[in-house]
Amino acid sequence: MIKIIKIVSVLIFFTTSLYGNTDEKLYKKIDLFGEVLDKIKKEYVDDVDQSEMLDSAINGALQSLDPYSSYMGPELFKEIETDTKGEFGGLGIEVGMEAGVIKVISPIDDTPASKAGIKAGDYIVQIDGQQVQGKSLVEAVKMMRGPVGSKIKLTIRRKGEKKAIEKNIIREIIQIKSVEAKILKKNIAYLRLKSFNSNSSRQLIKEINNFETKDKPVSYILDLRNNPGGLLTQAINVTDFFLDDGEILSTKGRRTIENRRFFAKKGDRVKGKPLIVLINRGSASASEIVAGALQDHKRAIVLGENTYGKGSVQSVIPLSDGGGIRLTVSKYYLPSGKSISEVGVAPDIKIEESGEEFSINTSTDNQLNYAIKLLSG
């Protein structure tokens, strides 16, 4: 009962803070919430853990905002904050929430998920036989973690497939080599960026400098496919390498501190050489910033498929009970003023992946092959 009173007090405080003098209709809704809880306690057929039910109510309120906002109770929040490197294995996928189930944003290259054939856009409906519906994103991610070498069974739904697909995967420590670089035929420099971690831009500029000093390529391909994003600062740095000036992006939120604009510094590090950026449905967040900004400045031809459409910034905010919330606090806007959220970046040249045999950076990679053909004249 104490927790119910606390929740109702929080609701009153929230609505008062948000609207000043609380609207009478909102007070009635709060009363209704208390009435429903009382009915459940007295009349529901089975005993109910009221604490869990209230956690679900809080989480439901946050998830109604967008797929990326969620609640973490004290125990879960502590786990998320704790560095468990080396203790737990993962699958190598970036996920979001959509329609109450987990949607794969992107499988990361050379990880258990990508090797098992998980694809961007897949919906995870069961984890080890347990329904995902009704669980928060953070809870589902926790279910997918486990000891290195342990097995996990994912049941997925895929667009175009009538039956559910089961994938048995063995968890591994996920170690991502952020940058892959090589010279292709016709002296085309190929740069594949797999994530935007704290070292990505430093690794990328090292490879660019090596190319410019030794190989002197005539053109570049920047491959952002299946790159789920990462640090905003890294996206800005990477974009800056290919621009001579101009705005890279802006962020806008309710608080003044969230309203910022970011500009390129003088000096295109590849000296204006022709550039193609490869994208697909697994390109999200920071990847979309880079592709969208270079497209807006007409600095690159963007080729592939429409990107995921995650154009928002989340903050993790601690709460007084030891838990926390992940809350969307601002959105990204491209130099043109366009928001990436839910619409993504559309390619200048649309090339769909060529069927089940398709694999990035192999002979079956029709998108990369088309880019090479374009740059070869």
143 CB burial (10 A radius; 0-12, 13-18, 19+) = middle
| HSE (side-chain half, CA atoms, 13 Å) at 223 | 23
Token pair belonging to 73: 């109770």
Q: 110 an active-site residue? A: no
272 CB burial (10 A radius; 0-12, 13-18, 19+) = exposed
Convert 250-260 to b/e letters by CB count within 10 Å (16 or more is b): bbebeeeeeee
Catalytic residue among 195, 219, 310, 312: 310
Token pair belonging to 249: 């992006």
d(CA 245, CA 239): 11
The torsion angle over the Cα atoms of residues 95, 98, 100 and 104, rounded to 10 degrees, is: -30
The phi, psi pair for 348, rounded to 5°, reads -70, -35
Token pair belonging to 270: 């590849």
**CA 249 to each of CA 226, 232, 283, 293, 334: distance values in angstroms, whole numbers, following the listed order:** 21, 10, 17, 7, 5
Token pair belonging to 292: 């969208």
Catalytic residue among 283, 285, 287, 330: 285
Catalytic residue among 296, 312, 330, 365: 296
Is the Cβ–Cβ distance between 286 and 231 less than 8 Å?
Answer: yes
Q: 167 an active-site residue? A: no
d(CA 329, CA 316): 10
The angle subtended at Cα 137 by Cα 169 and Cα 53, nearest 5°, is 125
Q: 376 an active-site residue? A: no
Give the start-end residues of each E strand in 147-234.
Answer: 151-157, 165-170, 179-184, 188-193, 219-223
Residues catalogued as catalytic = 285, 296, 310
